[in-house]
Structure 1
Amino acid sequence: MKNAKLSLVLVLLVSILGLSNCSNLSVDTKEQTVAQTNLAKQFLRQNCLACHCETARESERLAPPFFAIRKHYLKDYPQKENFEAAMLTFLQEPNEANAIMKGALAKFGLMPKITFPEKDLKLAIEYLYENDQAKPEHAGKGGKSQEKGQVDEAAILKKGESIALQTKKVLGKNLMAAMAEGGSAYAVDFCNVKAINLTDSMGQKLKASVKRVSDKNRNPNNAASLEELTFINKFKDMLAQKEIPTGELLKTADGYRVFYPIITNQMCLQCHGEAGTDIANETLERIRAMYPADLALGYKMNELRGLWVLDYQAD
């Protein structure tokens, strides 16, 4: 009888411990899912959003928005396994045979081939399959009106983000063209001669002051001020805590100033990564010749490269 009671107690203890472990496993699984979702969103924001942004005007888009991409792939490949396989095939080999969005292909042309780790691509594709994407916004529809005198900070930040992304698109498009023409060494020439001029011209077009700054600048004209260093350090702390920095807003005498992070991606490392591994010798020689006091080396993926600083008046 005593042994029977002892056996019953042991069974109960094992059951309780088992339930406890299951509970912990459930929590761990949820935390892992949230972490993977954040990583996927960060990957898309840093590497894809500049071209696939849903807030860009249709006439200014460089590629279809995520909403349209997801819609087309779900229509042709409703099963997750097929959806992921088809999209991965196109991203790894973007050509007409692998493209399913023929209208987008005719309108935007083929996307350039950019090499990313397969695990990152799979994570982003899974996120797109599992999550609805924001539809492109249309002026004059929806939205709540603000009371007179009330400042809509979210809208101001959104405008700043839009200005930064549109400028990034233009720079990125020209940079990719330069790399396609002559590789990363030739792209150094492009950045030296045209990058700041393109940024200034986009600022005029968008009616804003637009500049890029860094604590590890290549061009001396892009050195961060003390005010800008404050936000650089803040964004670095956020990244260290696995948070995704978005933008920060300051009220100025003439309007608003928005600080928007520049995060490194795979393409950045060809000119800003580790010498001897990420950066080709010819490119490194060109950088050293043009920028003797260069500080902008040694970056890894998903690090803060610097800031977009945008000054403009609110609508």
Structure 2
Amino acid sequence: MSVLFFSCNKTSEKEAYLASEEYSKAKKLIASKCYTCHNPLPANGNRIAPPMFAIKQHYLNEQTTKEDFINGVKFWIENPKEENIRMPGAVKKFGIMPKVFYAENEIELIAEYIFYNDFKRPREHKKRSSKKTEKKPLNETTKIEKVKSYISETQSLLAQNLIGKINKEGTINAIEFCNLKALKLTDSIAKNHNVTINRISDKYRNSFNKASKEEEGYIKIFKEAIKNKKESKPIIVNNINGENIYFPIKTNGLCLQCHGKVGGELKEDTYKKIKELYPKDMAIDYDINQIRGAWKVTIK
């Protein structure tokens, strides 16, 4: 009888949470701050961090209370060090998670969301068929989904390399990676899909990423959408070279180590190195979930 009561009590507690404002806030936080690395279905299987299913499995057992679970997740996010590892297999495969800067209440909301939600074990991506298929013209929806997958694949590759560099050599040396390798990695994916992929910004770091006047207008549209809490829709522009499709670039915790506020998430010595490499740098003073620019994918 007492076991049944306990089970019912836990169920009603979960139902109340799923209907709460905290759940809605946490769901947005998970999407904007966690799924950049912990996406359950990363593009082309390029996983760069363990999925939420695995994280929950390692931090929760039958004796774990909600408070214990939240404290455990919070402690790791604030102290991602070798002596605090609970997932040695994941660390061996992906490396130690870099320190990201979240507000304390945001970490608690994220941990509570993980505690109450049931995450499915990600399925392996199906192997591509070896049969050749006839190329057909893409409708707009299919085209946009394909472009999103190219961007996601690029983000995963860049993040995987950047996190590895940060873990091995620190944030300052990771800046060298961005300076020398980011464009090459982006081009490698673009060539694989026979498209052109660029990142553009109104507050650029590398002059190669400078947005045109027209493109600054597109970035402004993305900024207005996020300011008004609306979904940012992709912008499609036809020209003599084909089609340019623009998607917003939103900041997350990892971005702020090099694009945050100087003296805060962006350390003074890190910024000094940035100014050495990019004397005219403007890409700082961002907060989480702000528009830092746009992805530009050209389809011929």
TM-score (norm. length: structure 1): 0.70
In percent, how many aligned pairs have the same letter?
A: 34
**Inter-partner Cα distance in structure 1 for 2:74 and 2:112:** 10
Counterpart amino acid of 1:167?
Answer: T
* Equivalent residue, structure 2, for 1:310: 297
Answer with 51-60 or 197-206: which moved more.
51-60
Q: Aligned pairs, how many?
A: 275
The partner residue of 2:183 within 173, 185, 196 is 196
Counterpart amino acid of 2:192?
Answer: K
Return the offset for 1:64. Answer: 2.6
CA contact (8 A) 2:199 2:294 kept: yes
* Equivalent residue, structure 2, for 1:236: 223
Structure-2 change in CA distance of 1:91 and 1:215 (3 Å): same
**Inter-partner Cα distance in structure 1 for 2:257 and 2:202:** 19
Q: Is 1:119 the counterpart of 2:105 in the alignment?
A: yes
Answer with 210-219 or 49-58: which moved more.
49-58
* Equivalent residue, structure 1, for 2:66: 80
Q: Is 1:129 the counterpart of 2:132 in the alignment?
A: no
Matches for 1:121-270 after TM superposition, within 5 Å: 121-133=107-119, 136=122, 138-139=125-126, 151=139, 153=141, 155-243=142-230, 245=232, 247-248=233-234, 250=236, 252=238, 257-270=244-257
| TM-superposition CA deviations, 1:71-124 (whole Å, max 9, x none) | 565555675334333333333344677555565455444433434332211111
**Inter-partner Cα distance in structure 1 for 2:251 and 2:43:** 25
Return the offset for 1:192. Answer: 1.6
* Equivalent residue, structure 1, for 2:36: 50
| TM-superposition CA deviations, 1:97-152 (whole Å, max 9, x none) | 75555654554444334343322111112222334446646449xxxxxxx98836
**Inter-partner Cα distance in structure 2 for 1:164 and 1:150:** 18
Structure-2 change in CA distance of 1:74 and 1:310 (3 Å): farther
Structure-2 change in CA distance of 1:236 and 1:86 (3 Å): same
**Inter-partner Cα distance in structure 1 for 2:121 and 2:206:** 38
**Inter-partner Cα distance in structure 2 for 1:62 and 1:213:** 24
Structure-2 change in CA distance of 1:282 and 1:107 (3 Å): closer
Structure-2 change in CA distance of 1:217 and 1:106 (3 Å): closer
Matched residue SS, 1:305: strand
**Inter-partner Cα distance in structure 2 for 1:182 and 1:99:** 19
**Inter-partner Cα distance in structure 2 for 1:213 and 1:66:** 31
* Equivalent residue, structure 1, for 2:6: none
Structure-2 change in CA distance of 1:289 and 1:103 (3 Å): closer
Counterpart amino acid of 2:34?
Answer: C
Matched residue SS, 2:50: coil
Counterpart amino acid of 1:293?
Answer: K
Structure-2 change in CA distance of 1:78 and 1:203 (3 Å): farther
Higher alpha-carbon Rg: 1
Structure-2 change in CA distance of 1:284 and 1:136 (3 Å): same
**Inter-partner Cα distance in structure 1 for 2:90 and 2:163:** 19
Query: What is the root-mean-square deviation of aligned Cα atoms in Å?
Result: 3.6
Unaligned runs of 5+ in 1: 1-28, 141-147
Return the offset for 1:193. Answer: 1.6
TM-score (norm. length: structure 2): 0.73
CA contact (8 A) 2:151 2:295 kept: yes
Structure-2 change in CA distance of 1:110 and 1:288 (3 Å): closer
Matched residue SS, 1:228: helix
